[in-house]
Amino acid sequence: MKFIPHDYQQYAIQFLTEHPVAALLLDMGLGKTVTTLTAINELLFDRFEIRRVLVIAPLRVARDTWSAEIEKWEHLKHLKYSVAVGTSAERRQALHAKTDICILNRENISWLVEESGIPFDFDMLVIDELSGFKNHQTKRFKALMKVRPKVKRIVGLTGTPSSNGLMDLWAEFRLLDMGQRLGRFIGQYRTAYFQPDKRNGMVVYSYKPLPQAEKQIYDKISDITISMKAIDYLQMPELLLTEVPVRLSKQERERYKQLKQELVLDLPDGEITAANAASLSNKLSQLANGAVYDDTGAVIPIHDRKLDALEDLIEAANGKPVLVAYWFKHDLERIQERLRKLNVSYQEIQSSDSIRNWNAGKLQVGLLHPAAAGHGLNLQAGGNVLVWFGLTWSLELYQQTNARLWRQGQQSETVVIQHLITKGTIDERILKALTRKEQTQTALMQAVKAELGGSR
């Protein structure tokens, strides 16, 4: 296929070739992979500025997406590449191959640097989904920092740079520019731009930005960062976000309230404990969805309110395909049981076959877990309705899952995303938190947005 870049893609390609350190914040569906590959091609064979590139990406994206893009476009087919995923022997073979580009899944970067014994001979590094390196304490971050001085060009790609707020940005840009803009140490960054928020005595649990901190941070990174949102550059379908309220009975509300207040809920079938805030959040989310795991791992049903609401939505779709995002394993099992009773065709969207069946319109319901299918799946051909049975705290997974349908190539003029929200429960808090985080991220994206056709 012949590649005819959009204006924004041509702008991004030029930016990448002219900036040895670059953060490309391209929204989902804007073609960041082909854009980056085109810049790599120019740097390799037109400018002769680089010799070999290492691409680090999430597993499925590393395994499938980058190679598919190279094979897809005529101007890239001469690029020699290898995919270093699989067994240790398979990875070694790929790394030793005489290629222009080697593609590695991010789970194996520490293996490459610290265990493989293979010399790191790459002079350009591309990090696909830079947000996967937002935690400076992880092994993958520390391993990559060891070899960062060896590369002379680096590109960070993501559509969700600050999915959990501005604190995420420090590690990501520390990796890109070695601490030139936001400081070499996280303590410096916190002191300069944040103040303690939630604390217990001398122990600080969270920080909040100081006044003017957002603008100061954006100004610091703007010279190496460009941002583009799909809605500004593509003919995107209309996006309708709706809330479907689910209401508990008085008895069910009392059970929820008891667990929230006492962290222990006595039930005839077992005892559920929430040892800390994270565990409590998890338990409350389960309860809002309709079932909980007890201390032995057994599933205790609480209510069917969301299942009933989901059944109503599927019936209202009148045969049109519905994609359902779930979070807990018992959610999946309970949804499948209900769909069997309804005699509805369904499949969990994981394998290549299930993706083909969904896009071919063979399924009335597709079941999707955000963590397993958030990145790299094109599902827009199969339908335009997504129902969130249970929400996630992760803005990145939330947005990536929504983008499976709301993206370029969607045949419908409207994409409908419906959230089953159990009223008076943690569901409302999660949805509010996602909205609050998105506002922070939108501010970041807007602050460094590329102005096509004008000077920066």
Mean pLDDT of 364-390: 85
Least confident of 192-196, 307-311, 401-405, 449-453: 449-453
At 268 the pLDDT is 57
Q: From CA 124, how far away is CA 136, in angstroms rounded?
A: 21
Least confident of 60-74, 237-251, 347-361, 430-444: 430-444
Q: Please provide the average confidence, as pLDDT, over all residues in the chain.
A: 87
Flag whether pLDDT at 445 surpasses 80: no
The pLDDT tens digits of the residues spanning 233-253 come to 777 888 989 899 999 999 888
> Phi and psi for 425 in degrees, rounded to 5?
-125, 180
Flag whether pLDDT at 446 surpasses 70: no
Mean pLDDT of 153-173: 87
Flag whether pLDDT at 269 surpasses 70: no
The pLDDT tens digits of the residues spanning 118-133 come to 999 999 999 998 988 9
At 307 the pLDDT is 96
Flag whether pLDDT at 140 surpasses 70: yes
More reliable by pLDDT, 54 or 432 = 54
Flag whether pLDDT at 83 surpasses 60: yes
218-256 exposure pattern, b = at least 16 Cβ within 10 A, e = fewer? bebbbebbbbbbbeebbebbeeeeeeeebebeeebeebb
Flag whether pLDDT at 92 surpasses 60: yes
Structure tokens at 423: 């009223």
Q: How many CB atoms lie within 10 A of CB 418?
A: 20
- If you average pLDDT over each of 35-39, 65-69, 167-171, 254-258, which comes out highest? 35-39
Structure tokens at 332: 């999946």
User: CB of 151 within 8 A of CB of 122?
Assistant: yes
Confidence class of residue 275 from pLDDT cuts 50, 70 and 90? low
At 443 the pLDDT is 54
Flag whether pLDDT at 180 surpasses 80: yes
At 101 the pLDDT is 97
Pairing of strands 264-267, 270-273: antiparallel
Percent of the chain with pLDDT over 70: 91
Mean pLDDT of 88-116: 95
Flag whether pLDDT at 448 surpasses 80: no
Least confident of 15-19, 341-345, 406-410: 406-410
The pLDDT tens digits of the residues spanning 385-438 come to 999 999 988 888 898 899 889 887 788 888 999 999 999 888 998 888 888 776
> Phi and psi for 272 in degrees, rounded to 5?
-110, 130
Structure tokens at 164: 């959990």
At 451 the pLDDT is 39
Least confident of 62-66, 84-88, 198-202: 198-202
Flag whether pLDDT at 444 surpasses 70: no
For the chain, domains (ranges, CATH) are: 7-233+443-447 (3.40.50.10810), 235-248+304-423 (3.40.50.300), 250-302 (no CATH)
- If you average pLDDT over each of 12-26, 266-280, 382-396, which comes out highest? 12-26
Mean pLDDT of 340-351: 91
Flag whether pLDDT at 224 surpasses 90: yes
